[in-house]
Amino acid sequence: MGGATATLEALMKAASAGAAAVVVGGIDEKDLTGLLGHELDLGVTGHERIGFTLVVTSGFGVIPMDTEAFQLFKEHVGRLACVDGTTQIRTRMLRPEVILPY
């Protein structure tokens, strides 16, 4: 979990370390393209084979994560979380989600 923008270097380190998921505030479109090996297709995402689930909470660019969301994640460091990065923006709205059980 990162409170700001994920760089390609950080994402590659997460993949090599065996991270199951990465949740960040923003990402540069060039870094995402570098990670995927191609430009992101609009429509349905979440099935790319990058080795982990990526959730971007705020969008493209240098964007910090919402302060309240970041605080909530910080309070759950070291605990189990369920993450689904699937996104569908065309026909039915489906957004990524992070479930933090109490």
Taking a C-beta distance cutoff of 8 angstroms, is the pair 22, 31 a contact? no
- pLDDT digit string (tens) for the chain, length 102 residues: 887 888 999 999 999 999 999 999 999 989 988 988 877 766 556 666 788 889 999 888 888 999 999 999 999 988 999 999 888 877 667 888 999 987
Taking a C-beta distance cutoff of 8 angstroms, is the pair 22, 51 a contact? no
The SS3 call for residue 30 is helix
> What is the token pair recorded at 59?
């969008």
**Entry pTM:** 0.83
